[in-house]
Structure formats: C-alpha cells, structure tokens
Copies of this chain bind each other. A is one copy, B any other.
Amino acid sequence: MLKMVLATVALVLATSAFAKEGNIIHDAEFEILEAQNGERWARDDDVIDAKLAEIRERNGGKPPNIIYILLDDLGFGDIGMPNLSVIRGYKTPVLDALAREGLSLQRMYTEPSCTPTRVAMMTGRHPVRTGTHEAKTSLAGDGLPAAEVTIAELLRDAGYNTSHVGKWHMGDIEEAFAHRQGFMHAEFPIHQQAQLALMHTEAERADFTRGLGTEGAAQQTFTLDRDFVPNASAMVFGVELRDGKLYEVEMEPGEQWSQKKYREMNERYQATALEQLQDLAKQDKPFFLNYWPLYPVTFARTEIDEFKTLNEGSWAESIVEVDAWIGQIVDEVDRLGIAENTIIVVMGDNGTMIEYMGLTGASDRIYRGGKGQHLEGGVRVNAFVRWPGVIEPGSNAEDILHVSDLYTTFARLGGAKDDIPKDRVIDGIDQTGVILLGETHGRRDYVFIYEGTDLKSVVKNKFKMHLAPPGQNPVIAAQFFDLYRDPREERPADSIKVGTWAGGQFAAMIKRHLGKRQKYPDREPTQGVPYTGIENLRPESAAMVDAFLAAQSRK
C-alpha cells in the first residue's frame, strides 16, 4: 500500500522559483502606515544602513551571526521578569540578565500555537496564507510547502551557514523538513511534545495522559479498532541529517518510547546546539543557528537538585533548567569572542498551555487566556534581544511586533532583504529600526490574530477588537478593548466611547486585509505521504503510515 501511494505523489524537494524583482507586497494596513510615515522611515533607513555598515566593518566584513532560541509554550511574564516569576516560586537568572543587558520587546505578538508561530517566523507570512494554520498532534501527511521561501533559505543563499536544532513541528512530509527548507545542518523530532512528552508509560502513570493503554490490556477488552489508539512507539521520533540523508536516531525496531528517551533527546539537542555553535563560529561565513528546545514542556519532575523550585511543578523546574541551558549558549558566545557580532533572540512561541495549568506549576499572569486562543494570554510572549555594543542595555520597546517581522528583519540584518519573494504577501515588517534605533522606531501598529483560518481579533495601537462570534450581528456583537486599561480583556470599552469611531475603522481594516487575501489567495494545505525520505524507517512506522493512508482513502 505504501509503495503504491508513494508512486502517485509528486514530491517537490527543492525551493520553487519565485519572483525577486519589484517591491515587497505587504498587507494593506502597512501600506497605509507607509504612506503616512514613509519619509521618516527613509531617513531612519539611512541611519540604519550606516550603522549596519559600521558594525560589519568592525567585524571583518561579516554580517552578524543570528542565534534564534524559540521556547515552547511560554507566555508573557514566564521568563526574564523576576518580579513575576519569583512570586510563582522560581527564578530565571539567565534570562533576567539577558533582559538587563539587552532589549525587551514588550509587545511581541505570536500566533496562538506552535506550528503557526514557527511558520510565521520561517516564512514571514501568516500561516493561513500558506495552508499551515493548524498545529497537528498526530500523523497528518502535510506540512510546510517547498514553495514557501524560508528565512533559512534566504540567509543560506546570502552566504550564511544555517543550522537547525530542536523542535520543528511544521509537518511530517519530506518537503516540510528542516533540511529541505534551507538548513544545512538539521536535527529535530518529527512530532511535538504531545507525542514526545505525553505518549509514554510515565505520563500515563502520572495521569497526565489517558487512554493510550501502554500499561496493559485492560482497556482493550472491547477494542474493535486497534488503530484509533495509536501504537505511540511506532511514530518516528528524532531525525538527523547525515551526509545529506535523513535517519531516525533514537529508536530501534520494537523499542518503546519513554520519559528517559525524551529527556535524553533534550539533552542531546542542547549538546548539539553548543557543538554547532562552536563549529559555526570557526567558519569564515556568518551563521544562523536556529535552536528550538523541546523543554520546558515536560510532565516529569526533575531529579536534579539545582533545578528544584519552591513552585514544585515540572514546568517551573524545567523553565529553570532551560534557563541554565540558555546560559551555556550565551556564555559560549562570549567565550568564543563573537558576542559583538552575534544577535541572540530568545522568546516564547505562544501563551502558556492553560490546559495543564496548576498541575505542572504553570499559571496565568497579567493576560487572560493561553495557548490556542486569540486573547492576549495566547499571543503575547516575552522576547529578548542581546547584541552587546549595539543594543542599549536594559532597553524596552513598546512598539508592536509580530513574530513574522523576524523574517524580514533577519533578512535585512543578513543582507538578504532584496531576495525576499515579491510574488506573494509578506506580513513580516522590517523592524530593524527597533533593534538598532530603539523604542518608537517600530513600523507596525496592528496585528491580525487568527485561530486557524478564523480571524478572531484585530489589534490596532492600544485597541483590540474581538470580532463578533459566527452567526451574531458583526456590528453589535463585536467588542472593543483598551489593552492598557484592560489587559485581561474582561471589560469591553463602552461602545459609545470607543465603538462609535473604532467600529468603522476596524471594519475598514478588516475589509482591506481580506481584500488582499482575495487578491493573493491562500495556499491550500500541502499534502503528501508521512515519513518520506527517512532512510531507516522502522517496520512499525511503515505499518503506521500504511494504516494512515488506508484510512485517509476512505472518504
């Protein structure tokens, strides 16, 4: 069955051709801002270009190295803000120091969950445009299309060495994998932590997961469909690129996944990230190191004394451990003597996983809501930028940023901005001004917030509109919030005070935004056969793919 279907699927393994000529097509809202602020920005651009040239000259003509550390499920207030973590019983001294030495992006918006945020960063585009708006938690046979042009591809083509280590979670088909999307070195798990941290005996015993039946036959008594509950250990876990080919590394045929293996995977990625850093620093080329740890997501308490906390939760302990890991990276950058030509960005990918609040020691903070939600608690994260000698220590920026802006900003820093595709909408705005010139040099005052394909909220300046729920009057049932006065989005502004003017303004914004989507239509999700291109696929994994494809064909 597998072979039969394989033959019918055309795999696109190289980046498609794309238009580089012309201007970047931004969303309509940006065009409005540009019309109003373009002249000031042009003057800023001259200053920025001069600064970048000066930095490059100081560093032997090399554009800056970029280390991007993306932490899973950490919302605003979880890290680098001692006042908020200490009263929840843990401390993140490394990230606190990073905040003191660098720039805190106080209004960094992500997408509400893992895959969308990662896609937005990699492609500079809202995931709804690329058909990757859903965070998959089981075998899906889809992923990031080859036709998207990632920041790794841009930087690689501009002369960077590119390396990805850690979580990927942008698909289980070959064209979506990191080494097919611009990374010259890649080590990553195919799936995410719902599989890695929850689908094993230990998580079941701790009552974090139910129904897997790893412990015995009791629940199989009336089982007629043996594929509904997957054989979790049949999934492909960690893969690595070796001499241009992809291999699964953790598992032998018949082996069971476990918490121990998950922990080892985490430790291995940390070790690899450090090794990669050392290797990359030696090269003549600049580098882009994309390190996306799987921790702090874990549901097992630590056994290491130095990571134990007053909080006593697995999540809090794991945050402290990851904080120490980031400390190793930062120290290594300093030790290697490359700090002044290396920009380090550390941030969360979406709000706290509120389903597991309390149990893991996680809790909500100033914003309401969490992972998966358009509320600020779902899309506001801590984001810190370190660049000694360039960034003023302890600075803050209240400018709005969206995670997709990193695409355009990194491209500019790496000298690759001209190569950004000109045949599609790029949502990411060039925010180099915020990094080099500081607060008030941002170029975005809006964010469109989707849950999947549904536009749920629009932020403009300090106001946020919650769109009316489906089936309700779009004018009457919309709500407006003042995010400075009501950060928890609990008390809609009087419609007479704000709605009278903001209703019409937001409606016009949305119309323009949807008009642009119509003009440059969204891509359909890219589908394929899971686990293609893995050299040593285990028999149980192949059988799982067969069952998946067979089930998929029954429609």
Contacts and interface: CB of A to CB of B under 8 A. Distances in A.
Interface string A96-111: 0000000010110000
A485 to B, nearest CB: 5
A491 B84 CA distance: 19
A436 interface: no
Interface residues of A, number: 38
B82 A396 contact: yes
Interface stretch (A152-160, A234-242, A266-274, A355-363): A355-363
Contact of A486 (B76, B310, B358): B358
A74 to B, nearest CB: 15
A84 B106 CA distance: 10
A315 to B, nearest CB: 9
A485 B311 contact: yes
A123 to B, nearest CB: 28
A365 interface: yes
A365 B377 CA distance: 12
Nearest to A84: B366
Contact of A89 (B83, B311, B484): B484
A487 B313 CA distance: 14
A363 B89 contact: no
A147 interface: no
A84 B380 CA distance: 13
B77 A491 contact: no
B104 A87 contact: no
B83 A83 contact: yes
A456 interface: no
Contact of A482 (B358, B482, B487, B491): B358
A194 B2 CA distance: 76
Contacts of A76: 87
A366 B485 contact: no
A107 B87 contact: yes
Contacts of A543: none
Nearest to A83: B81
Given A358-B482, A365-B366, A487 B83 contact: no
A361 B83 contact: no
A422 interface: no
B363 A485 contact: yes
A433 B357 CA distance: 35
A340 interface: no
Contact of A396 (B86, B89, B365, B396): B86
A398 interface: yes
Contacts of A312: 484
A450 to B, nearest CB: 22
A32 B311 CA distance: 24
A366 B488 CA distance: 10
A81 to B, nearest CB: 5
A523 interface: no
A106 to B, nearest CB: 6
Interchain residue pairs A-B with the least CB separation, the first 10: A89-B484, A311-B484, A81-B83, A358-B491, A88-B484, A361-B485, A358-B485, A365-B366, A87-B106, A358-B486
Given A88-B485, A89-B462, A310-B484, 18 more contacts: A76-B87, A77-B83, A83-B84, A83-B106, A84-B84, A86-B106, A86-B396, A86-B398, A88-B487, A313-B484, A313-B485, A316-B484, A357-B486, A357-B491, A358-B486, A358-B493, A365-B366, A365-B487
16 contacts: A76-B87, A82-B396, A83-B84, A83-B104, A86-B398, A87-B106, A88-B484, A89-B484, A311-B484, A313-B484, A357-B485, A357-B491, A358-B485, A358-B486, A363-B485, A365-B366
